[in-house]
């Protein structure tokens, strides 16, 4: 069969014109430049290079270690998605002590990177992962707030979580959002704690205010672990800043402060219980509950190890409030079954109180 060369050329030229027009339409309709269309492969190659050069086992064992991991997980999210990043984090924390200790801040990193990929907080939350005590959700909110800016967040503070359902099983997402605002404000204000507390205090609803304030205090403690320092912690005064904040903020402060106390005490729970007692009532009990949260971390979520740490309490009251802190944390950040397994260790009235605490959350 004889091929009509002129016809073939005409078809090929027509096809090229069609593809060119299609690319232009794609660029305008999706607000994506033709240049970015063709450079996507280059960007993907650069992300792969970043992942390869920042592999955790290649990260330098010095003050830049966390920043190296930050680059790695940010690139991993952008290239392979949130699920892949968390699969990697879970696998590595089993055998890497530094990653295990920095699990929550690294989950923040994944959340911050994810927030750049989703058009809304709700969609980012829907694909979220509560691994490492829900640091992902805090990170999503941090990036969202940074994009809004300081003036914007003060104006929009009461609306930023309005689209998150708060009924039934959705209440945790709403909590993560409002609590995350405290982390966000701290990030925007460069960890200026006292100013951040005042902004949280403008939220409508006392529960929302407390949740935001708790996020700010948590961020203050996290800042001491994640590559930069905060000026609102003092090794010579382990209970600071709780001793100096206004009365209405003290309860949330003591609910977060024990993580720093244990750091400077070398993980000594006996000394930490004693130090909490010096806070006086009613804040000593909040401090014991904070130790319960930390017992989960130090005990690697293993019920028997958590029990041993709470059992270092000097008095029954200290022990009871430590148990409350454990249950509150497990129900909020881990599967409910973990809290039930923990309560099953106890006998008599303490088991009943432990179980009742679970039910109060449900």
Does the predicted TM-score (pTM) go above 0.85? Answer: no
pLDDT tens digits, one per residue of 183-236? 889 989 999 999 999 999 999 999 999 999 999 999 999 876 655 678 999 999
Cα separation, 254 vs 191, in Å, equals 18
Q: Give pLDDT tens digits for 71-96.
A: 999 999 999 999 999 999 999 988 89
Distance (Å, whole) CA 112 – CA 115: 5
Segment 261-316, tens digit of pLDDT: 999 999 999 999 999 999 999 999 999 999 999 999 999 889 999 999 999 999 99
- The mean predicted confidence, pLDDT, of the chain is 85
Confidence of residue 137 (pLDDT cuts 50, 70, 90): very high
Q: Do residues 232 and 241 lie in contact, with contact meaning Cβ atoms separated by under 8 Å?
A: yes
Helical H runs in the chain? 5-29, 34-53, 65-80, 82-93, 97-101, 103-115, 121-126, 131-156, 171-188, 193-200, 206-223, 247-254, 258-264, 269-277, 283-298, 303-310, 316-333, 336-343, 348-361
Domain spans of the chain? Answer: 41-54+63-226, 257-362
Percent of the chain at pLDDT > 70 equals: 84
């Amino acid at each position: 069969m004889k091929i009509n060369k002129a016809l073939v050329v005409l078809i090929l030229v027509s096809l090229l014109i069609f593809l060119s027009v299609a690319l232009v339409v794609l660029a305008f309709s999706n607000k994506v430049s033709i240049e970015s269309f063709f450079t996507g492969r280059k960007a993907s190659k650069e992300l792969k290079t970043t992942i390869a050069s920042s592999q955790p086992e290649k990260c330098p064992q010095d003050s830049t270690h966390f920043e190296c991991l930050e680059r790695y997980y940010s690139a991993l999210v952008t290239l392979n998605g949130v699920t892949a990043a968390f699969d990697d984090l879970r696998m590595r924390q089993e055998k890497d002590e530094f990653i295990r200790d920095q699990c929550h801040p690294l989950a923040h990193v994944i959340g911050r990177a994810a927030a750049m990929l989703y058009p809304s907080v709700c969609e980012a939350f829907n694909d979220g992962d509560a691994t490492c005590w829900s640091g992902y959700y805090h990170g999503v909110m941090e990036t969202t707030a940074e994009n809004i800016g300081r003036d914007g967040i003060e104006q929009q503070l009461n609306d930023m979580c309005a689209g998150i359902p708060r009924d039934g099983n959705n209440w945790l997402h709403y909590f993560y959002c409002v609590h995350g605002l405290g982390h966000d404000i701290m990030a925007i204000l460069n960890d200026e704690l006292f100013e951040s507390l005042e902004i949280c205090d403008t939220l409508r609803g006392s529960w929302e205010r407390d949740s935001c304030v708790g996020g700010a205090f948590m961020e203050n403690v996290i800042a001491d672990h994640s590559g930069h320092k905060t000026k609102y912690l003092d090794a010579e005064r382990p209970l600071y800043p709780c001793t100096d904040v206004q009365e209405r903020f003290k309860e949330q402060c003591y609910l977060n402060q024990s993580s720093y106390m244990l750091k400077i005490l070398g993980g000594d729970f006996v000394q930490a219980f004693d130090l909490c007692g010096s806070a006086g009532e009613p804040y000593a009990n909040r401090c014991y509950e904070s130790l319960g949260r930390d017992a989960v971390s130090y005990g690697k979520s293993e019920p028997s190890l958590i029990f041993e740490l709470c059992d270092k309490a000097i008095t029954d009251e200290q022990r009871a409030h430590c148990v409350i802190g454990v249950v509150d944390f497990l129900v909020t950040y881990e599967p409910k079954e973990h809290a039930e397994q923990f309560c099953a260790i106890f006998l008599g009235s303490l088991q009943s109180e432990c179980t009742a605490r679970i039910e109060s959350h449900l």
